[in-house]
Amino acid sequence: MFKKFFSTILFLLVFIGFCLPGVTAQETQADKEFFFAQQLYEDKLYNLAAGQFKEFSRKFSSNEKADDALYLSGQAYFANSDYQSAFDSYKELEINYPQSNFLPDARFRLAQCQAGMHNFANAAALFKRVPAFHKESDKAATAFFESAKASLKIDDASSALAVLFELVSAYPDSPERVDAHLKIVEIYFDRGDYTEALSQIESVFRVLGPDLKDPRSYLLRAQVFEKLGQLDEALEIYTKIVGEFHNSNEAERVLYHLGVLFQNQGDLNKALTYFDEYLTRFKDSQLAPEVYLRKGDLYLAKEQFEQATENYHRAEQSAFAELQNEIDYKIAVVHDLQGKYQLAETRLRRVIENANNSKSGSESAHFPEDSYLKLIEVLMKSGQKQKALKTIAGYKKQFPESSKQKKIQIMEAELFEKGFKDYTRALRAYQNYIDRFPRSRRIDEAQAGIARCYEKLRDYRLALKEYQNYLERYPAGDDFKWVKNRARLISETINIENGLHQISGLLGKFIATKDSGNWDFELGKFYFQIKDFPNAVQTFKKILSESGNGPDRGEIVYYLGLSYSKMADKSVLNNEIQKSTAYLDSAAVWLRQIPENFSDFKKVENVEFMLAQMELDTLFSVGKKQTRLLELYARWQEKFPEGKYSDLLLIQLADFYFEKSTENDSVSTSAALNYYRQIVGDYPESIYFEKANFHTAAALNYLGQDSAAFADLNAFFEAYPKSEFIPAALLLRSKLHNKFGNMETSIQDLQRIELEYFYSPLALQAQLELANTRFENGDYQSALDIYKELQNNLPEFSGKNGVAFDLSIGLREARAYENLGEDSKALERYVLFVQHNPEHKKLDEALLGVARIALRQENLAFAKEYYQGILKHSSQVRYKFEAQLALADMLFKEGLNAQARSHYISAGQFARDIEQEKYPVSQAIKCLIKQHKFADADLAIKSFKKKYKETKQEEAQFLLERANIYLATKNFELAEKAFKKLKKDNKNTEFAARGEFGLGAVYLISKHAEDALKILTAIPAKYPDSEVAVLTYFNLGDFYYKSQQIPNAISAFKQILKHPKSGDTYPKALLYLIQCYNDSRLWDQEIIATREYLDKYPFSKKSFRKKIDLAQALLNLKEYSRAIDHFLKLRPFAGQQTEAEIQFYIGQCYREKGDLERASAEYLKVKYLTKPSKLPWHVTALFEAGRCLLKLKETEAAKTVFMRIVKEHGSESNFGRFAQKQLDDLKNSNFSVTSKNGSTN
């Protein structure tokens, strides 16, 4: 009959075809037009093709190819990047042809169009529709992944994570699964949540296997380890990538990264090795120009200029346009260092001309401005003053708001002064700087510049005045000593007095001696006094050549030597160093004659001191200078016991020893202190009295005599309120105030330095000390604010003297964040410190910080790894002590008493003193007791009592441990005796409370519940602030729970959560409370408590179990969708024992939701897709799947499932019996059930 029906239909179709030729013609026309549009598309004439396809869909809307045409019109528009028109075509297809086979692809393209138009929020939503409507489509997993990427484009990492977790869960076998999992790691990595990133990347290896052959996974893993400061582990993985994935993109990235890493760490040779290997393997890579550029930087740092230039040129040959400015700038720097100023100028001008090509905000955006500044320097060096001035004007116009305007103003003033030698314009420029930037860090330089310019204009009176202004206003200035010496030289070698008044006075004296026979001698002295030293020399030489050995010959020789000495000083003033040396030699020749030939000359001490000073100035060996100073001082004491230069020799000796002294060199400091004190005691009129006073206090402080130093400092402030040493004295006094606990007065001194001496590097030091003071006094937020300001101020001090101290700001910031409880920020800064300072003396401190945070987060494996790393690499005993002790405490808590004891013993060996040693030694004894080695413990206790004072507390701890062991081994008689002794021997102490608690526990376990409860319920009231109250509540809670008194148990556990000393009991009580809520079917309370546990202890070993329980609680609350969502997110991270359970509960959710078809499928996944587990999840799921199939009337399928249970587990097993009963019931039923596949029972 079917064949006859088909023949009739065929006949009718043929008949209609002949009778309706118009239909055939229309179809033929449609084919032609569709074919035409296809040809246009294949010839890549996309706009024409799109129009033809659109036209086809309108003209032949009922044609079977109408949906094809709409889809292809969208494809044509998309290929031409006309995303809006493409979107319209795909949308029309979706609306008009909802059954089209192209719909999954069209919906995917709709999302791509929105992404192409940068509407990423819309794109993310549209991508998610693909798996929602077409779960089995080959585009579904890709759509999830693209949705996540679109969300990341708008910085919506949370949505991206949710989608990626769904992809991993819903499509475990898709190619996108690995990509999705790695993207999850990248998101956490980019967020700075490196601990979670590590957890996720470890799950990738756990799920996909340890022999994963995907280099991206290894690269991410290494990057996470590096960010967490585990450089050894990171390097091991990087090496694996380079070796095993030889030509991969990841190997390329790793070689480049390692080069950069070692370059940043200052290991130039290692960096070069990696860059060379990179260029050997990947010479045609897009990164090759950057590698050549970095090699150039390395050779520049090594001062190998030819190699640097060669690499910069190689970078230039293949570089992208955005690198050209950097290359030009760096080649210019090399040319400048080589003195090739014209070549440097050409390169720098090219950067300046290309300034408009630099994108603001890019890494290379600073090169045009840097090139301006470098060009000014180059032009000044090469003597091109006008060009330099013009370039300065160009810079001011180009960068009017730049923070470097201060620098350029100083450079302009220096150009006028040193380049043009136009001192008048330089004066105006320096003064303009002072007027514009009165709080600038370089204002002292401008003041010195004003004084120099007046000096060069030979207006010595104004020069001296400005130098004196500097000395008064900027006592902490960089150039203070130079300015002081300059002012002295002007005063002593330049005649700046009123000329007529001075000359008339001297002439009166000169005329009075005219007839005395000393005319020439007085004329020579006249020249000397008016500071005309050349004429003085000529006059004195003439006298000596014309006269014999007269009575005044010694004095004439003295004045002659002195005149040469002053001429040497004046040559220094005029920067004529060779002349100065020659004049000094001449001075020495004449002056030596006096002690040799005129030993009775009244100024012989002056002469000998001048000669001694000349000799000392030529000694550059520290040892020789020390020896000569000591010899000179001894000779002076013998020859000139009342001499006026003893103080000068003493100050030189004192300064020599003080500058030589180090932290561990008390001998040199003590020597300096003695010499300073000698000046203070014996030479009250000395010009060095003020300096000796301050340095006495400084030396006392250095020697740890803080009270004496503080008293001397206060006396110094009172005696010398305007001293040049006030800034340093303030800094020292602030440290002492802080040491004595006077925080406010300490801060006042530091703030005064910042306010009054802002131009000095001491202001930076004061800021650091202020931050440290805030830190040490617990004001961590204020400390953090100052540390940030410090980092902003550092660039302004570049180029100033004295800014070379190690700030270690990053480490301090980390500790501040840690103390504020912001562990994630603290961890980030600790790790940054580790990365950038691998050889720093405080590296171990940073590693300990990372370990502490890991320990707090219950990431015990991670914490152990760091502590073990410290033991392996640290040379600091105190850090080894802390690491050993932390490891011991962790092992002790885990019950690994033998291992813990070994670490406690090692910790004791690293203890700094007997008091610090006491704790680990006592803990080692407790380990023996816990191991039931009572005889060994008794011997150790005996030794312990002999060695340490005040051991009562430790003895109580030992007795408590032993009592607990008796209790644990159910030796109730000994336990009762021990707890009673503990209570009796330690009345009114924590141990008495422990004794009572122990007795309660003994009675409770030994079935004396009434006595136990009487003792235990009284403890919280008796010892409310004790940790024992917490333990009591816990034991009561445990008792009530096991006695089925759940409300009482809940009340007890809640008391623990409120107690301030809950400590390690808190998480245990919280877990028990969660169980109580579960047993009481208080699912909502269970969820709240579980979330608290997961927030507080994310890395706990029980955290994954609790996440499963949380999802089960949602299931119990009939929150099926939320429960399914939780289970799906957990499934990718499940282990062998939990994977089947999670999958089972997903099926359970669908069953209780009423979706039996989906439930049966999810139950069957337990059997077919998960690994076997200890608990019978597989057979349970099979049985539940069979029950669902029965309810769906899928009888044959249900029978198959039940038969499989019987076959695999036997009919006598529990599930076998139940399955066999179901089969028997089906067999004995008197009715037929038709299954969905059409077969009949």
Q: Is the domain of 1008 the same as that of 1084?
A: no
pLDDT of 13 > 50? The answer is no
Q: Is the domain of 512 the same as that of 603?
A: yes
How many residues are there in the chain? 1241
pLDDT of 485 > 60? The answer is yes
CA–CA gap between residue 1086 and residue 194 (Å, rounded): 30
pLDDT of 201 > 90? The answer is no
Q: Is the domain of 510 the same as that of 612?
A: yes
Look-up of token digits 């000329």: 499
CATH number for the domain that contains residue 1042: 1.25.40.10
pLDDT of 805 > 50? The answer is no
Closest CA to 561 of 515, 595, 530: 595
CA–CA gap between residue 1006 and residue 1000 (Å, rounded): 10
**Could you list the residue range(s) of the whole structural domain that residue 552 is in?**
497-618
Q: Is the domain of 1240 the same as that of 1203?
A: yes
Q: Check residue 1005 and give its pLDDT.
A: 84
1148 assigned to some structural domain = yes
Residues 6+ apart with CB under 8 A from 1201: 1164, 1182, 1183, 1185, 1186, 1189
Q: Is the domain of 1002 the same as that of 1032?
A: no
Closest CA to 1067 of 1121, 1103, 1043, 1117: 1103
Q: Check residue 247 and give its pLDDT.
A: 83
pTM above 0.75, yes or no: no
Q: What are phi and psi of 665, to 5 degrees?
A: -110, 80
Q: Is the domain of 1139 the same as that of 1231?
A: yes
Q: Check residue 795 and give its pLDDT.
A: 56
pLDDT of 1170 > 70? The answer is yes
For residue range 1061-1085, list pLDDT tens digits in order: 888 899 999 999 999 999 999 999 9
547 or 1078, which is more confident? 1078
661 assigned to some structural domain = no
Residue 136, helix vs strand vs coil: coil
Q: Is the domain of 987 the same as that of 1035?
A: no
pLDDT of 1034 > 80? The answer is yes
CA–CA gap between residue 764 and residue 759 (Å, rounded): 9
Of 1077, 1112, 1147, the residue at which a domain comes to its end is 1112
Handedness of CA 989, 994, 1000, 1006 (dihedral sign): negative
1140 assigned to some structural domain = yes
Q: What is the mean pLDDT of the chain?
A: 85
Mean pLDDT is lowest, of 315-329, 422-436, 497-511, 1149-1163, for 497-511
1233 assigned to some structural domain = yes
CA–CA gap between residue 323 and residue 311 (Å, rounded): 14
pLDDT of 494 > 80? The answer is yes
- Mean pLDDT computed over 1005-1032: 85
525 assigned to some structural domain = yes
Q: Check residue 811 and give its pLDDT.
A: 87
H or E stretch covering 1117: none
CA–CA gap between residue 990 and residue 325 (Å, rounded): 72
Q: Check residue 1050 and give its pLDDT.
A: 94
pLDDT band at 16 (very low <50, low <70, confident <90, very high): very low
Residue 1240, helix vs strand vs coil: strand
Buried b (16+ CB within 10 A) or exposed e, 87-105: bbbbbbbbeebeebebbbb
For residue range 929-961, list pLDDT tens digits in order: 999 999 999 999 999 999 998 899 999 999 999
pLDDT band at 1233 (very low <50, low <70, confident <90, very high): very low
Residues 6+ apart with CB under 8 A from 291: 256, 259, 275, 278, 279
Closest CA to 874 of 900, 848, 903: 848
Q: Check residue 921 and give its pLDDT.
A: 95
Closest CA to 853 of 874, 840, 839, 867: 867
For residue range 845-864, list pLDDT tens digits in order: 888 898 888 888 777 877 88
- Mean pLDDT computed over 592-600: 86
Buried b (16+ CB within 10 A) or exposed e, 825-852: bbbbbbbbbbbebbebebbbbbbbbbbb
Q: Is the domain of 1044 the same as that of 1017?
A: no
Our count of domains for the chain comes to 4
pLDDT band at 11 (very low <50, low <70, confident <90, very high): very low
pLDDT of 695 > 90? The answer is yes
Q: Check residue 283 and give its pLDDT.
A: 85
Q: 992: left (phi > 0), else alpha (psi -120 to 50), else beta?
A: alpha
851 assigned to some structural domain = no
Q: Is the domain of 1035 the same as that of 1012?
A: no
Asked if residue 880 lies in contact with residue 870, where contact means CB atoms within 8 angstroms, the answer is yes
595 assigned to some structural domain = yes
Asked if residue 413 lies in contact with residue 429, where contact means CB atoms within 8 angstroms, the answer is yes
CA distances from 1047 to 714, 1019, 1039 (A): 68, 20, 12
Q: Is the domain of 1014 the same as that of 1029?
A: no
Q: What are phi and psi of 1100, to 5 degrees?
A: -65, 150
DSSP 223-236: HHHHHTT-HHHHHH
Of 1112, 1145, 1173, the residue at which a domain comes to its end is 1112
For residue range 1088-1131, list pLDDT tens digits in order: 999 999 988 887 888 889 999 999 999 999 999 999 999 998 88
Mean pLDDT is lowest, of 227-231, 605-609, 686-690, for 227-231
Mean pLDDT is lowest, of 14-28, 704-718, 768-782, 921-935, for 14-28
1221 assigned to some structural domain = yes
Share of the chain above pLDDT 90, in %: 39
pLDDT band at 1164 (very low <50, low <70, confident <90, very high): confident
Q: Is the domain of 1006 the same as that of 1096?
A: no
Of 601, 618, 635, the residue at which a domain comes to its end is 618
Q: Is the domain of 1051 the same as that of 999?
A: no
For residue range 364-416, list pLDDT tens digits in order: 788 899 999 999 999 999 999 999 999 999 999 989 988 888 889 999 999 99
Q: Check residue 503 and give its pLDDT.
A: 52
For residue range 319-339, list pLDDT tens digits in order: 677 788 999 999 999 999 999
Residues 6+ apart with CB under 8 A from 539: 520, 523, 524, 527
Residue 319, helix vs strand vs coil: coil
